[in-house]
Amino acid sequence: MVMTSSELNELNRKLPELKKPELNCALRNVIASHLEVLAILDGHEEAEKNMTRDYQTMKELSETLKRENERLSGLLQKCTEQLQMRNNDLFGRGTEKLSEIAQEEEIAEDPLAEEAEESPKAPVITSRSAFSDHKGHGIRKKGQREKDLSGLPVRNIYQINPDQLNEQYGTSWYIFSWKKYRTVECVPSRHYVQCVYVPVISHGTCCREIEYTPYEGKPLPGSIVSSSLLADILYSRFCLYVPYYRMEKDMA
């Protein structure tokens, strides 16, 4: 049992009156009390060491968790950006719309050719599930090309090179008629139909032959797409992330 300060003062006051046996007993009590105090102090010191060690461990763990949290936050940000880009790639932004353009196969103007039968209207896709279930392609209706081009201004160009024709056919040629090639040209913020007329040449002396002069104004043979319109399509797709199904719907 640890002696209090009052008990030690009382013992110090009675020392002159104590006999040897009583003095020995008192000394033993003081020594025992001192040893007990030392044991308590040792226990406190060990406890302080343990607390310091635990604090250091918790601090290191906190720093590790902080770094891991920063790493996961950065990874989450990257995943969020990639997901947003993927959504834009599939569905586009709500304010984006592809220019009203037409890309259809150019067919030679044959008076005997019959118009295709009217096809059922392609389904309108309004949700992701509908987009996933949609397996078909945009279907063009009868007379759709003329309807698409009717609202655009027309620019006529007559393409002819007499020197080249003289070199190819001699001097006996004349213009039998004109063959028209149409493309949808794209000027920033403006679309118009450009009609290029190339001469159809009749040549020969005895048996005259009719030939088309070459036309090199199309990047895609058999299509009404021009270089400027193709650039606009690529810009809408790869810069504005207009989705494929919306482009297909606009071209249907």
From first to last of its 252 residues, the chain has per-residue pLDDT tens of: 555 556 666 666 666 666 666 666 766 677 677 667 777 777 777 788 888 888 888 888 999 999 999 999 989 988 888 888 877 766 655 544 444 444 444 444 444 344 444 444 555 555 555 555 555 555 667 778 888 788 788 888 888 888 888 888 888 888 888 888 888 887 665 667 888 888 888 887 777 788 888 877 777 777 788 877 788 778 777 887 777 777 666 654
| Domain limits, the chain | 5-89, 140-251
Query: What's the predicted TM-score (pTM) here?
Result: 0.30
CA of 73: how far to CAs of 61, 64, 70, 77, in Å?
18, 14, 5, 6
